[in-house]
Amino acid sequence: MSAPNVLSRAALLLACLPLGLLHAEETSITSPELEPVTSLLTHKLFLRTGYGPDETRLGEDRRSFFSLRYEPSYRWYSPEQRWAKWEAFGRLWLNYDTDPNALQSDEGNDENVSSRRHAYSEAREFYVRRNLLGDDPRFSATFGRQRFSDRFGIWWDDSIEALRLDYNDSFASGFVAIAEKFYYYNSDDNRLDPRDKKIRYLMAEYAWRWHADHWIGARLLHEDDYSGSSPDDRQDFDGLRYGVFLHGDTRHLTSLVSDYHLEVAALDGRLETTQNNGLRDSGDKTGWAVVADVGKRFETLPWTPRVGISGGLTDRPDDSGSDGFTLNRIQSDRRNDPLSYSSRLVSNLVSVNLSNLAFYGIVLETQPTDRTALDVRISDLRLRNRSAQLPLRTTNEGVVRDTGSSHLGQVLDINHYWRMFPLAYDGKRVQLNTLASLSYFKAGSALEIGDDYQLTLGITLTY
């Protein structure tokens, strides 16, 4: 090919190039954008059935139970989801259950749930949130009935009316909230239990990421019970709970430990107690509790097993039970692990009040496939003071029985969890998971009840 022909073709290509770029620019400009999302409606269907002691109370007669709940949630954004300045949220419970046992794994206080029977509905959450405070994406404020939770539930695990200010960035997070319950917003029993009336809470939390995947923080909960004397509410506590927590993933730092979580909590305040004759006694109430979980995962072995050690210890209370660490009405012993299913601090069967208690357990967690988990956990429970009240839900709960032993018993849990690969349908995500659980409790010499067991099956569909 001659040089003039090459030059002419090169000139023609250069002449056409601007037209091609202009065409590409026009195509990118006219390409349709995704429509802004201003609202989301999600649905959750929850089914749980099983066989075990009535109200998960050790020593009660065993019977079958069944629960069905539909949980719709609606979220509204303004101007749109990506950079919403305003956000509103509502979540309902439409529930039918044959026995309150079926709901013992739910958020909130067990005693409130056990008072409800059969069909009922509840406005579980409803709040308004203002994001981008001061045009800063790290700050937001929320007003209304909203959910509070922590890893082990020992700080807060309930929905409560509150005004909350949040701070979140890559290296730190925290919140401050003022809260108080006014109603249950429940069709079956809307009136507050006397033990929940006229209690103000001040909550605060701060966490700092001191290293990749490692966090250290502090929590505070001030409780002000101004309800006064009542035969249905014999104890009023005014005081402070405070403590620190640490958690992280250490697989990039050491081969000995894969993950850890530590909670240290202290209690200090005044407790007023109404006696049977109507007189009120007042005294100091102090205590402390420690809960820890440490694990090692073997990534190269089949089923990637994780061996973990968990434990908890409280101070030794006096015989009267008016002293020492204890959980309040918005706390629980329910684990809230966002990366796994929820269970209880010790066992799905054994519900404990973190008071007068020492426990330790060994867990083996496996992953037979990418979306399944098979776990086995064995725990041993003991009293700190063999003459004080029991920390378990039993038929003789609250009755002091000095048997001369501190051994409460041992419990075995076997859990199988399966999660479906999510599907996309009509622009939404469909998710299904199941949890089958077997729990067996071998009563110790400190209890005057026999052994007990429970079988459960739970199915959750989210759309």
* Residue 356 near residue 317 (C-beta atoms within 8 A): yes
* 5 within a domain of the structure (yes/no): no
* 391 within a domain of the structure (yes/no): yes
377, β-bridge pairs: 363, 413
* 35 within a domain of the structure (yes/no): no
Burial category of 189 from C-beta neighbours within 10 Å (exposed 0-12, middle 13-18, buried 19 and up):
middle
* 25 within a domain of the structure (yes/no): no
* 101 within a domain of the structure (yes/no): yes
* Residue 149 near residue 107 (C-beta atoms within 8 A): yes
Residues in the chain where the model's pLDDT stays below 70: 1-34, 100-106, 108-117, 278, 338-340, 397-403
* 196 within a domain of the structure (yes/no): yes
pLDDT at residue 11 in the model: 47
223, β-bridge pairs: 201, 239
The Cα 68–Cα 130 span in angstroms is 34
**DSSP symbol at 390:** -
Q: How far is CA 64 from CA 100, 351, 354, in A?
A: 11, 19, 28
Residue 310: which of 158, 207, 447, 413 has the closest Cα? 413
Q: What is the CATH number of the domain that holds 171?
A: 2.40.160.100
The count of structural domains within the chain is: 1
* 374 within a domain of the structure (yes/no): yes
SS3 state of residue 12: helix
* Cis bond before residue 79 (omega within 30° of 0): yes
pLDDT at residue 231 in the model: 75
pLDDT at residue 108 in the model: 65
| pTM of the predicted structure, to 2 decimals | 0.86
pLDDT in tens, 143-170: 999 999 999 989 999 999 999 999 999 9
* 150 within a domain of the structure (yes/no): yes
pLDDT at residue 16 in the model: 45
Range of the domain at 384: 41-462
270-291 as b/e: b if 16+ CB within 10 A = ebbbbeeeeeeeeeebebbbbb
